[in-house]
Structure 1
């Protein structure tokens, strides 16, 4: 089944940012698919480069178990613009993701993703984002208080 670029992107967003399901993310990639996040700083829980469906599943799975940002995505407040290119196998997406920290603080992370597809799956994804700053969790009451 061949998906449109919009369908593929929306499935990727749902599997990743919304449900944090590494199995579903990996299933969207070709067996030899590549995920790159060139702007991620050294020491970040998400590796800069993952090659192969199994590496994508493991790397993104580890990242989602201990995400650099604790909070949720406000899907209704977030938005994107998908751009088709002259190459029918390449599209890019400008994204503004609204994140809500456990404290209630909201922050917008803007990013660009470049997708190369093959046979309806992601063959290569370059994810140009800088992780949002950590917002401290609210203080917890002392035990026995």
Structure 2
């Protein structure tokens, strides 16, 4: 049985919170694409990764570079809304992620557009402000 948008989204978020590049890459089809159009060229977060293995390597390298034990997601203050579309293979996530660091909470708002095939992500466009992602 194919995973629902809710299941795909929740699994994707979990793999990011746990910084598990292997698990996150496995969510993509072999020819899947991860695109972050708002990330500046040459930034810490990869702007475009094509193919599951490139996604795995790119995310693993990013997780190593950006390790910050004091920067924690506050699940109680984070929120999201999923939107299905007329295309059953496309859904959109609106996300407000709250982070706790040094006694303060900040929020990063973002939008993700997912295109899936047979339960695997074939294209994910992740629109977020990279300066708040570290």
**TM-score interval, smaller chain:** over 0.9
Number of corresponding residues? 133
Higher strand share: 2
1:68-83 to 2 correspondences below 5 Å:
71-83=71-83
Q: Is the 8 A contact 1:45 1:62 kept in 2?
A: no
Shift of 1:132: 3.6
Q: Is the 8 A contact 1:34 1:51 kept in 2?
A: yes
The TM-score normalised by the length of structure 2 is: 0.92
Q: Relative to 1, partners in 2 of residues 1:28 and 1:84: Cα closer, same or farther, differing over 3 Å?
A: same
- List structure 1 runs of 4+ shifted beyond 3 angstroms: 132-135
Consecutive unaligned residues of structure 2, counting only runs of 5 or more, are: none
2:6 pairs with 1:9: no
Q: Relative to 1, partners in 2 of residues 1:34 and 1:88: Cα closer, same or farther, differing over 3 Å?
A: same
The TM-score normalised by the length of structure 1 is: 0.86
2:105 pairs with 1:123: no
Higher helix share: 2
Q: Structure 1, residues 71-123: CA drift from partner, whole Å, max 9, x if none? A: 1111121010000001110000000000112x122110000000000000101
1:49-64 to 2 correspondences below 5 Å:
49-64=48-63
Shift of 1:31: 0.4
> RMSD in angstroms over aligned alpha carbons?
1.8
1:14-93 to 2 correspondences below 5 Å:
14-16=14-16, 18-67=17-66, 71-93=71-93
Shift of 1:133: 4.6
| Partner Cα separation in structure 1 for residue 133 and residue 122 of structure 2 | 31
Shift of 1:42: 2.8
